[in-house]
Amino acid sequence: MELTFIQSFPPAFQFSGGPGSGKGTQCIKIVETFGFAHLSAGDLLRREIASKSADGAMILNTIKEGKIVPSQVTVKLIQKEMELSYNHKFLIDGFPRTEENRVSFERIIGVEPNVVLFFDCPEEEMVKRVLNRNEGRVDDNLETIKKRLTVFQALSLPVINYYSEKGKLYTIKAIGTEDEIFEQVRPIFAAFEAIPLNTRWNWNISALVVVIDMSQRENSRKNNIIVLQQL
């Protein structure tokens, strides 16, 4: 795997893949290895559901229907969690999922990812993984899984294709053991971590993945944001 570095705007990671493609597992490994804070959009939405708030009730009904939660709701939850955190490096898992999400997110962050990682996994394998993970999620049943896959193909794949057409997509083959898959992911993060902190903000990784590093921006204490997409 060859990494090419070019001077550019603050870079950004984006992960994509359907439910059960293994992105959450890889998040854990990235956190353990490289010290990023993991903010799961799905976990934040489920926590809001558990709070019995009006937004929580709306989120629950939306998820049961296999639909996408409104962008402003998810963004609000993510922003709140970031403001409460003292970590300066983040994995944002589960957003953006749609073209509307993508446009909204890039407007908020102020930069478009240079490279997107897509976790490619056969549908039957994703269904099996979700049904076997036994985490008690309200959306972990066969009917809802099928709806989520349909939504992913209809709404998320256009986002993936958008980045592919721009030459920014890198595919991770999400079949094999967790460690085997991580060996495809590790070099990307290792290359970023090797960049000196005082220059990291204005470098990106060309043709593989890009990390938003905001450490040198005025009034910003959140210097690394990695965005992951997950249903």
Note the pLDDT of residue 137. 59
List the domain boundaries for the chain. 4-228
CATH fold of 4-228, please?
A: Rossmann fold (3.40.50)
User: Of 110, 218, 215, 117, which is closest to residue 174 (Cα–Cα)?
Assistant: 117
- Cα–Cα–Cα angle for 35, 80, 31, nearest 5°? 15
The reported pLDDT for the residue numbered 223 is: 42
Q: What is the pLDDT of residue 206?
A: 28
State the CB neighbour count (10 A cutoff) for residue 76.
14
- The Cα angle at residue 109 between residues 15 and 221, in degrees rounded to 5: 100
Two structure tokens written together for 145: 């899984």
Can you tell me the distance from the alpha carbon of 121 to that of 90, in angstroms, rounded to the nearest whole number? 25
Return the bridge partners of 219, or none: none
Mode of pairing for the β-strands spanning 224-228 and 89-93: parallel
What does the block give as tokens for 116?
């997107």
User: pTM above the 0.95 mark?
Assistant: no
Q: Compute the distance between CA of residue 14 and CA of residue 159 in angstroms, rounded to an integer.
A: 11
Q: Render each residue's pLDDT in the chain as its tens digit; 231 residues.
A: 444 433 333 334 455 555 555 567 777 888 889 887 787 888 899 999 999 999 999 999 998 887 878 888 888 888 788 778 777 777 777 777 788 888 887 777 666 665 577 777 777 777 776 777 655 555 556 777 777 777 777 777 788 788 788 877 767 787 888 898 899 888 877 776 666 555 444 333 222 233 333 333 333 334 445 444 433
> Which of 217, 223, 204, 228 lies closest to 82, judged by CA?
223
For residue 163, the surrounding DSSP H or E stretch is helix 157-165
Q: Which of 112, 90, 98, 104 is nearest to 44 (CA)?
A: 90
Taking the CA of residue 100 as centre, how many other CA atoms within 13 Å lie in the half-sphere pointing to its CB?
Answer: 9
Identify the H or E element spanning 57: helix 54-64
Task: With both helix axes pointing from N to C terminus, report the angle between 23-34 and 178-193 in degrees, rounded to the nearest 10.
Answer: 50
